[in-house]
Amino acid sequence: MRKEFISVGRHICIVIDFFYPPFRKYMTLQFFRYGISGVANMIFDWILYFTIYHFALRQHMLSFGFMTFSSHIAALFLTFPITLFTGFLLQKYVTFTSSELRGKVQLFRYSIVVFTNLLLNYLGLKLLVDIIGLFPTPSKMIVTIFTTMFSYFSQKKYTFKTHS
């Protein structure tokens, strides 16, 4: 399976790298790859969040008997494991390919950063939707911008760090 991920990652890199030359003066190839793959995963997350919120949950509360989640928070928790997986694969096989850390270590560290982002998402959504009164999907987009900045620096310096 690892070989397939490497192969798909290389193909994605070829496509992303094709669009890199006009941006060469302004950013590194790694940052460009992070931006493109991150935006792709973010858009996937938004579409998935919107779909779950509007069609799976139909904007209704999600009750587990002992605990009930509002639909916007339930949608967040339902999309999380999916985008955790797709995001890790994109970062490992497209953006931070030169890291020599073992995959298990990378996944553990990636999970720590992502769980921190999940907490920031939760707090941000509670603030923007429940306290300020903004709509859930735009609130999710606003929060994502802040967590993306935090994530890039954390992933580069911690999760996928290199020894050079």
Share of the chain above pLDDT 70, in %: 99
Whole-number pLDDT of residue 69: 84
DSSP calls for the chain = -HHHHHHHHHHHHHHHHHT-GGGTTTS-HHHHHHHHHHHHHHHHHHHHHHHIIIIISTT--EE-SS-EE-HHHHHHHHHHHHHHHHHHHHIIIII-TT--S-HHHHHHHHHHHHHHHHHHHHHHHIIIIIII---HHHHHHHHHHHHHHHHHHHIIIIIT----
Largest CA distance in the chain: 56
pTM of the model: 0.77
* Residue 25 predicted with pLDDT over 80: yes
Question: How is the chain split into domains, by residue range?
Answer: 2-159
Per-residue pLDDT of 50-90, as tens digits, reads 999 999 888 887 778 888 888 888 888 899 889 989 999 99
Whole-number pLDDT of residue 164: 61
